[in-house]
Amino acid sequence: MTTVEERQAALDAIAGEIRACTLCPLHEGRTNAVPGSGPVNAEVMFIGEGPGATEDEQGLPFVGASGRLLDELLNMIGMKRDQVFIANVVKCRPPGNRDPRTSELTTCAPYLDRQIELIDPKMIITLGRYSMARWFPEGKITQIHGQAKKIEGRLIMPVYHPAAALRNPSWRPQLEADFKQIPALIRQIGTIKDEEPPEEATQLSLF
């Protein structure tokens, strides 16, 4: 059986690969790659978009203005940053904080897949549109934020990105309301049913 120490070492090894990664052009402009932070046995994972200037300087996720808001939101629900794993869909800063390109998202995705597999969190909170799109490619964040769905045994809840709430303060109460659901959802996780598989999969399984 794999121990926590072995899993933590595997997670640290992925971080090492990310720091040395040159698979997409984003590596050219980085000061530091930002693999993510938190313990391998975290029950909850938060996934943002990509590092900004402060994160690129420090090599840590959500340490700028958005990070301060994320800390406040975690505090509000009695959680601490060192209990959760915080990651991004792209691990290097897009120049000038532009949106990540599809090719960059696709190239970087296996790192996040491997982090999720190792951490195996009960719940994932996606921060903003890019991480939402991994699980809800057709979803509109204004319509589906705060709606948790169990997918393959894990609860996934999209919420607004903290940066969006900083730009648009009228969104903040909604972001807070969505966060306030997290503790109860974690407690209830065992009673929540998995989403039905897509129709095609159901039909195929008939044959």
61 binds ligand URA (CB under 6 A): yes
Regarding 126 and contact with ligand URA (CB under 6 A), the answer is no
Q: Which phi and psi (to 5°) does residue 118 adopt?
A: -70, -45
35 counts as binding ligand URA under rule CB under 6 A: no
Q: Count residues near ligand URA (CB under 6 A).
A: 11
Binding residue (CB under 6 A) for ligand URA from 14, 21, 62, 134:
62
50 binds ligand URA (CB under 6 A): yes
Residue with structure tokens 């195929």? 204
Return the number of the residue (49 or 178) whose C-beta is nearest ligand URA. Answer: 49
**CB-facing half-sphere around the CA of 3: CA atoms within 13 A:** 3
Q: Is 66 in the site for ligand URA (CB under 6 A)?
A: yes
Distance CA 100, CA 98 (A): 6
**What's the CA dihedral at 89, 145, 46, 130 to 10 degrees?**
10
Please, what is the minimum distance in Å from the beta carbon of residue 151 to ligand URA? 21
Taking alpha carbons only, the member of 42, 31, 11, 28 closest to residue 112 is 11
Nearer to ligand URA, 88 or 118 (CB): 88
What token pair was written down for 129? Answer: 């549109």
Q: Which residues bind ligand URA (CB under 6 A)?
A: 48-52, 55, 61-62, 66, 88, 163
